[in-house]
Amino acid sequence: MTTFQETASAIGLLPAPGRLGDPNSLLKTDPRADPRMLAALAEFGFDNAPPPAPVTADSPLEEILEFLAVSEPAYEGVFRAWFNGLPSIENVERRSERIKGADDNDITLYVHRPKNASGRLPCVYHIHGGGMVILEASGCLATRWRDELSAAGIVVIGVEFRNGAGRLGSHPFPAGLNDCMSGLQWAFENKATLGISSIVVSGESGGGNLALAVSLKAKKDDKFDQIDGVYAMCPYISNAWANKIHELPSLYENDDYFLNCTMMGACAVAYDPAHKNDRNPLCWPYFAEMDDLRDLPPHVISVNELDPLRDEGLAYYRKLMAAGVSVYSRTVNGTCHCGDMVFRKALPEVFGATVRDIKGFADSLSSRSM
């Protein structure tokens, strides 16, 4: 199916956006890009097209895992630089819990709560990004995000799940999903002790995948009562990056805009090396059917305008609407993948708007549950 913009471009009304209109388009030359974001990206050369990915979905698994092991600390270094110099958040209490997972493994949960808070508060159960294969809940990006959400008046629980690669790998699907479900079970069983009124499952990128998958699995396992809502940011859910599909034009339009589809295809192999789950919605929620989606709790799908993953998130939003789920979506204009979360210094208004939206969504569900 052709989009309006593609049709309009074909008859000369509009130029197609991004790389649909110009295959050589760069993020730094795209007029839609926020210049403040471009300045932050330029510090590391991310405003340009990246060099060809050294691994692809066809590379041997060992080479993919080696590449991701090297990439993980590099990404952490970039996030530290982007968050360096921010004032510390003092009005949040932090502690950790160690629990046993469904696979008899140890799982660390990070609990952040506003200091001197009274009464029951909404809870965000946060699942960090990294394509389900790299990064950690203890990293600077996820830690700062929990602090910021908690400072807004939310109890935030971050789960340290097993990754498909990197320091916490290599544990392919469904290890990470199982850990996320175990942590959610603990949060639900301890609602009274934690002083929480409702639970919103939320995550960005690979964490967005897992947030949606947790909701699908909760329905399958008859654990509906554990989740009051889902807030998925820039979810990585289609498994279509190695073989792009025309139904998702942003994969063409925004390829090499901070994210590279070839590398995302390689990450997908690390998550499911044997390709046994290529169309399993618990692994790749894009493939959920109407019966999987009906009666799910309220959802928010937030996407970024200049993200290759934009259209798979919007496609999931439309599926939820068709299934009768209470859902709304938002597109954060001018930003690349996860741009409203990672650019706390460069885009403070954009960052703050997303924090407020999550808080408002959580508050609305909390008032329903009381």
Mean pLDDT of 1-26: 73
Residue with tokens 């210049």: 35
Three-state SS for 306? coil
Question: Residue 1 has what pLDDT?
Answer: 47
**204 SS3 class:** strand
Distances (CA, A) of 351 to 145, 149, 161, 329, 342: 10, 11, 25, 17, 8
pLDDT tier, 6 (very low <50, low <70, confident <90, very high otherwise): low
What is the predicted pLDDT for the residue at 7?
57
Give the total number of structural domains in the chain: 1
| 231 close to 358: Cβ distance less than 8 angstroms | yes
Percentage above 90 pLDDT, the chain: 92
| CA 344 centroid distance within chain | 16
Q: What is the pLDDT of residues 22-52, one digit of tens each?
A: 999 999 999 999 999 999 999 999 999 888 8
Provide the residue type at 209 as one letter. N
- In percent, the amount of the chain with pLDDT more than 70 equals 95
pLDDT of 279 reads 97
- Residue 200: pLDDT over 50: yes
Is residue 66 one of the residues assigned to a domain?
A: no
Distance of CA 72 to the CA centre of its chain: 16
Query: What residue numbers bound the domain in which 327 lies?
Result: 71-369
Does residue 38 sit within a domain? no
The answer for residues whose C-beta is within 8 angstroms of residue 240's C-beta and 6 or more apart is: 248, 251, 286, 312
Domain-embedded: residue 40 = no
Q: Is residue 343 part of a domain?
A: yes
User: Average pLDDT, stretch 266-272?
Assistant: 98
Residue at 64 is within a domain? no
Return the exposure string of 128-146: e unless at least 16 CB atoms fall within 10 Å of the residue's CB, then b: bbbbbbbbbbebbbbbbbb
CB 207 within 8 A of CB 134: no
pLDDT for the residue 12 = 61
CATH number at 327 reads 3.40.50.1820
Report yes or no on 156 lying in a domain.
Answer: yes
State residue 370's pLDDT score: 54
pTM: 0.95
Confidence of residue 233 (pLDDT cuts 50, 70, 90): very high
Over 70: is that where the pLDDT of 331 sits?
yes
Q: What is the dihedral of CA 354, 88, 41, 252, to 10 degrees?
A: -30
Residue 96: how many CB atoms within 10 A of its CB? Answer: 12
Confidence of residue 291 (pLDDT cuts 50, 70, 90): very high
Query: Rounded to the nearest 5 degrees, what angle is found at the Cα of 209, between the Cα atoms of 26 and 288?
Result: 110
Residue 32 belongs to a domain: no
Q: Is residue 26 part of a domain?
A: no
